[in-house]
Amino acid sequence: MNALAGTGLLTKLAFRRDRVAVPFWIYLFAVTAIGTAYSSRAAFDTLHKRVDFAASVNKNPSMLALYGPVQDAASVGSVSLWKVGGVASAFVGVVALLLTVRHTRGDEESGRLELVSAGVVGRYAALTAGLITVVTTNLVLAVLVTIGLVALGLPAAGSIAFALGWFAVGLVFAAVAAVTAQLTTTSRTASGLAIAFLGLCYLIRAGGDAGGHDGPTWLLWLSPFGWVSHLRPYAGDDWWVLLIPVVFSAVCVAAAFALVGRRDIGAGLLPDRLGPAEAGAGLAGPLGLAWRLQRGSLLAWAAGFVVYGAAIGGVTANVEDMVGGKSGRDVLEKLGGGQAMVDAFTNVAMSLMALFASAYAVQAVLRLRSEETGRLAEPILATKVGRAGWAAGHVLFAVVGPAVLMALEGVIVGLVHGLRSHDLGGQFPRIFWSAIVQLPAVWVLAGITVALFGLAPRLAAAAWGLLGLFLLLGELGPLLKLKQWAMDLSPYTHVPKLPGAPMRTMPVVGLVVVAGLLTAAGLAGFRRRDLS
Amino acid sequence: MTDAISVSGLVKSFGRTRALDGLDLTVQTGEVHGFLGPNGAGKSTTIRVLLGLLKADAGEVSLLGGDPWRDVATLHRRIAYVPGDVTLWPNLSGGEVIDLLGRLRGGQDAKRKAELLKRFELDPRKKGRAYSKGNRQKVALIAALASDAELLILDEPTSGLDPLMEEVFQRCVQEERDSGRTVLLSSHILSEVEALCDRVSIIRKGRTVESGSLADLRHLTRTSISVELANPPNGLADLPGVHNAKIEGRRVSLEVDTPKLDGVLARLTEAGVRSLISRPPTLEELFLRHYEDETAAAE
């Protein structure tokens, strides 16, 4: 039998299954790129503004670490797309790797692949179909982004280079995920490995960029994100750099195919270890089970928050140097001095971490839904455990988990920055509370997810879309000059902007009440509905 | 003595499909009750209503004297359930799942668990993802059988077991019955139902079409007779209650409605019986007859 037989059919099936998710992601990313370019274009309409902006960014290690440098201050495109080139491209990579794992290891784990493999489907068909799906998705995104950016009046060559940069990131992480999907037997572990690799690549790029020209810029050549920045869209367009991600991806894909050829269906390369023959004392109730199912993910997130916190804390003190020159310092003094800059930076960093903590919360609540549809809730609910008790075990993680993450973030950033600025007593509490004050907004998102799960379970995954929407509102709202009521839709708008702004109790209490009501409504709805 | 399960006029719809359409089911305390029906007849839906996982649209449902939707916590201490398609958590070992389910039910017999692990030849150290379908089923079965539940609800519990394990399962269920527990056994495997069940209910398209002891049901059905006669029979095919008569000279095979057996035997004796083989109806035939009705009705 032809080893690729059935690839076309499986590809069609993959697109049929993802007919909502794939267009959604393409739309979200395209809007992010084009919307940011549109709004920034207006904000940076004169060369003077662009040069000022680029100078301030390129001197600021934290900005450099987070987003990379502005490569050409003279170019409208380079300045406008600076921000999405960094963080958003990482998300393009995350979506590409999740999609790849979903259509390879995910199908294999659920037994769906075995079902279709019995038909006329070759050994390599599933992997090929999965990769075709992801590459096609990224290609469509690249075409749409190019068209959108050119329509805004940006140079065609640069627009193509920018879009191909995203495409290259998608390609690289799809290829990496194709390999990790062969190593492990569960899709969770396969995605986790690929995401960890992506995080490492981002950190390497951040390290290479943070020092500016004098830093270890050779690091950039070790990270896919660095390769893409060497592509220099709108700032020279060095096309040959694209060869590196293409060759890297080809090697990964070849390795993945070689691995598929060597292993049994359903098996991984990393061996399965035996577990205990009897349950430990902790595995005795719904909470014990939730802890077993959620602890790995919480620990991984916590590790990420610690690393990120150390990085943020390490650069916070440098923010004061961002505004250069005597006139700049004078302006700064009027605005409230160096502390105001540090405060503003801390607030931005913590708001960003709040979004990550919210992503964790959404994921923790959605575990309820995946347990339900995976028929793993049924045996538990057939015991004396009631529905509320079962759900509460997982919801607890969505409430306490983000609190742990944000507290860790506050402690790490506070400690590192406090020690570096030799003012631990003064800086630590300011930073710690600016992390903690974000929690009510995070809980609102957890509450929304619980409400969806309880009242409209089929739409539960829409919580991700809402998180994306709130992110866009926060990022683009001020640039698009949206009306206040639209901004108020996002719970993150209501968080007091500590440590710079004064603490306001009412909005915080309001958020907590809303979160509580949503959670209660979701749990009540779940107790009344049929189990699917 | 009250009935362990009593369901009457149960209706449950999913959107436009009416999965259960006035279903009746009575399971007496202490019996093993077979629950039969083709795929999609509504067996699992009924069980999910009994477990309080689905809310009935209409009808009376009583489980161990309580309401399965309202009295979840108290009722579930007294029942153990084995789903038809057992899924396990990929990173929990089989032994952990057995202990977890036992604890959530309110206790299990450690000695009985060890004995069952041995009888079912299950390695409890393997992780959930490493088990085959049959072994996943064993995990759920051992957890249920080791519990001290009064009522076992088993939804096609042996569909992945090999014949040896099937036999172990049958012996275990017999022991359960001997120790006074009630078992609701939904099954496709008719030999299993025949070997284990005191009474059966057959459902089709969400309705109960037959219910009673196997003896009762057989009484309602046909006995197959093959006979060799001394003389060619006359008028045999026209007797009331005779079906599918094949007469080839002095060899005759026919089916007869069991209540009409008398008249047919009398006529055969008149012709002089040389040899006679009579076979009671199997559950297979019972089941097929209803199933054929269904396909006939569909055409």
Using an 8 Å CB-CB cutoff, list chain A residues near B142. Answer: none
A179-188, A334-343, A445-454: which is most confident = A445-454
**Looking at A100-104, A259-263, B119-123, B270-274, which range is the least confident one?**
A259-263
Q: What angle do CA B25, B26, B30 make, to 5 degrees?
A: 140
Q: Residues 472-531, chain A: which have Cβ within 8 Å of B?
A: 528-531
Closest-approach residue (CA) in chain A for B69? A528
DSSP string for B183-212: EEEEES-HHHHHHH-SEEEEEETTEEEEEE
Q: Which residues pair with B251 in a beta bridge?
A: B228, B248
pLDDT in tens, B54-102: 999 999 999 999 999 999 888 999 999 999 889 999 889 999 999 999 9
Q: What's the average model confidence in pLDDT over B200-213? A: 89
What's the token pair of residue A367?
């575990």
CA distance A400 to A522: 18
Average pLDDT, chain A: 88
At A333, the pLDDT band (50, 70, 90 cuts) reads low
Distance from CA of B202 to the nearest CA of A (A): 24
Q: What is the structure's pLDDT at B10?
A: 95
pLDDT in tens, B245-282: 888 888 988 888 878 888 888 888 888 899 999 887 77
B95 vs A279: CB contact, 8 Å cut-off? yes
- Cβ neighbors of B39 (< 8 A, separation 6 or more) are none
Distance from CA of B199 to the nearest CA of A (A): 25
Give the three-state DSSP class for B246. Answer: strand
**Looking at A76-90, A374-388, B36-50, B107-121, which range is the least confident one?**
A76-90
- Considering only the C-alpha atoms of chain A, give the largest distance between any 2 of them, rounded to a whole number of Å: 76
Q: What is the structure's pLDDT at A327?
A: 54
Determine which of B91, B113, B136 to mutate to test the interface with A (most A C-beta atoms within 10 Å): B91
Which among A386, A498, A401 is positioned nearest to A443, based on CA atoms? A401
Which ipTM did the prediction report?
0.83
HSE (side-chain half, CA atoms, 13 Å) at A490: 27
Q: Are strands B32-36 and B199-204 parallel, antiparallel or unpaired?
A: parallel
Using an 8 Å CB-CB cutoff, list chain A residues near B101. Answer: 379-380, 383
Q: What is the structure's pLDDT at B27?
A: 95
Q: What's the average model confidence in pLDDT over B132-148? A: 92
CA distance B135 to B153: 19
* Residue positions counted in chain B: 299
Q: What is the structure's pLDDT at B159?
A: 83
Determine which of A188, A289, A384 to mutate to test the interface with B (most B C-beta atoms within 10 Å): A384
pLDDT in tens, A220-245: 999 999 999 999 999 988 999 999 99
Distance from CA of A87 to the nearest CA of B (A): 33
At A385, the pLDDT band (50, 70, 90 cuts) reads very high
B106 vs A384: CB contact, 8 Å cut-off? yes
Q: What is the structure's pLDDT at A20?
A: 86
For residue B50, the Cα-to-chain-centroid distance in whole angstroms is 16
Q: Among residues of chain A, what percentage have pLDDT more than 70?
A: 93
Give A127 or A348, the one with higher predicted confidence.
A127
- Cβ neighbors of A465 (< 8 A, separation 6 or more) are A24
Which among A109, A224, A238, A108 is positioned nearest to A174, based on CA atoms? A224
Give A111 or B49, the one with higher predicted confidence.
B49
How would you label A292-317 residue by residue, b for 16+ Cβ within 10 Å and e otherwise? bbbeebbeebbebbeebbebbbbbbb
A292 vs B91: CB contact, 8 Å cut-off? yes
CA distance A316 to A323: 14
Residue A61: pLDDT above 80? no
Looking at the complex, does the CB of residue A299 fall below 8 Å from at least one CB of chain B?
no
Q: Which residues pair with B208 in a beta bridge?
A: B203
Q: Which domains, and CATH codes, for chain B?
A: 3-217 (3.40.50.300), 222-280 (3.30.70)
- Torsion from C-alpha of A28, A30, A32, A37, nearest 10 degrees: -170
What's the token pair of residue B290?
């209803």
CA distance B49 to B6: 12
Q: What's the average model confidence in pLDDT over A443-452? A: 97
Determine which of A188, A274, A368, A383 to mutate to test the interface with B (most B C-beta atoms within 10 Å): A383
Q: Write down the residue that tokens 């449950």 correspond to.
A: B12
